[in-house]
Structure 1
Amino acid sequence: MGKQSSKLKPETLQDLKTQTKFSDTELLDWYKGFLFECPSGELSVEEFRKMYRSLFPNGNAEKFAEHVFRAFDENRDGTLDFREFMCALSVSSRGTVETKAKLAFKIYDLDKDGFITQNEMVEILKAMNKMTTESKKGLSAEEKTREIFLRMDKNQDGNLSMSEFIKGVQTDASIMHLLTSASSTD
């Protein structure tokens, strides 16, 4: 693709202002940093893994980074462009509980079939455990999954729909804690 223009186009800036919760100045600053780190204008999965490794130097962030990358890669082209990156960053850093829950659902729904299975949740929770700690304190990924499904799977079909997931996160703060903590000691 070659090097991207170092200036953010006005229409792109306007689109990002409507799609994110960042100001013009913040978007322009992020754009400069993004191009510095990714001169091609695209962030590869390996570069994304590297970023996560630096954020979690005492753990193994590889697998979790891949799952997050997959959720952020809206057009599924194997790279994140600036728009995808900023939309994901906006939700994760400034989003509402509902938008964060929707993003978490995308991360947990590994096969993109619109449901989270117990196996998918165990996979993500294990990846989170590896990323944040090598010790196995608190509940195991399987135990957390059983607890979450008991609370969230209202129709008891063994799958969590997006609406079950969002409702569960919105109505039970302990679920959000289970979903986001790698070593819960509830």
Structure 2
Amino acid sequence: MGNSKSGAVSKEILEDLKLNTKFTEMEIVQWYENFKRQCPTGRISKEEFQSIYSKFFPESDANTYAQHVFRSFDTNEDGTLDFKEYIIALHMTSTGKTTSKLEWAFSLFDVDKNGYITKSEVKEICTAIFKLIPKDEQADLPDDENTAEKRADKLWQFFEKGENDRVAEGEFIKGVMDNDGALRLIQYEPGR
């Protein structure tokens, strides 16, 4: 097999992404062309990802959160995102169904990747999310969520667990789906 189409996305990856995302073939090809222009090596490093991600939150400190997002999408743990990991990430965070987004959110909160979330992991991610919120918006938050610690405590209460308990993926998804407040606490959307 020759490599005459080195500038194009492989048929195998294209078919896989069409099956596993809601993107059309044309969209995937366009994403690939942009990806190759911005990342000629075909991979995004954690630092490049942080730089791109920080542009979405110009008035915030997005580095810590970007590191966690990167970790959750670097499925083969090689320290970079390839095109397929990048498109899956894009799909999960933008067009995925709520359950798919919550599966991703679970992997984000599961810092040590042991299949469970502890209160300390919740606190770590809530701290990273809190850094995304501009200072002027922080002042307008309710008293029970105006610090990262209070947000983590409030989120942990939705799971009805003790300080040293842990939450499995199914419990996490159910806990967040059953509580609008929990869904709001696990994300930050600028301009809301």
Q: Using structure 1 for the length normalisation, give the TM-score.
A: 0.90
d(CA) in 2 for partners of 1:162, 1:155: 17
d(CA) in 2 for partners of 1:31, 1:153: 44
Q: Is the 8 A contact 1:153 1:160 kept in 2?
A: no
- Opposite residue 107 of structure 1, the aligned amino acid is L
Q: Is the 8 A contact 2:72 2:104 kept in 1?
A: yes
d(CA) in 2 for partners of 1:141, 1:182: 16
Q: Which of 135, 152, 155 is equivalent to 2:159? A: 152
Task: Return closer, same or farther for 1:182/1:149 CA change in 2, 3 Å cut-off.
Answer: farther
Q: Which of 160, 167, 185 is equivalent to 1:178? A: 185
> Deviation at 1:101?
0.5
d(CA) in 2 for partners of 1:174, 1:90: 24
Deviates more, 1:65-74 or 1:160-169: 160-169
Q: Using structure 2 for the length normalisation, give the TM-score.
A: 0.87
The size of the alignment, in residue pairs, is 180
The CA RMSD measured in Å over matched residues stands at 1.9
| Structure 1 residues not aligned, in runs of 5+ | none
Identity %: 37
Task: Return closer, same or farther for 1:130/1:182 CA change in 2, 3 Å cut-off.
Answer: farther
2:73 alignment counterpart: 72
- Opposite residue 114 of structure 2, the aligned amino acid is D
> Deviation at 1:155?
7.9
d(CA) in 2 for partners of 1:147, 1:170: 15
Deviates more, 1:167-176 or 1:98-107: 167-176
| Structure 2 residues not aligned, in runs of 5+ | none
Moved >6 Å (runs of 4+): none
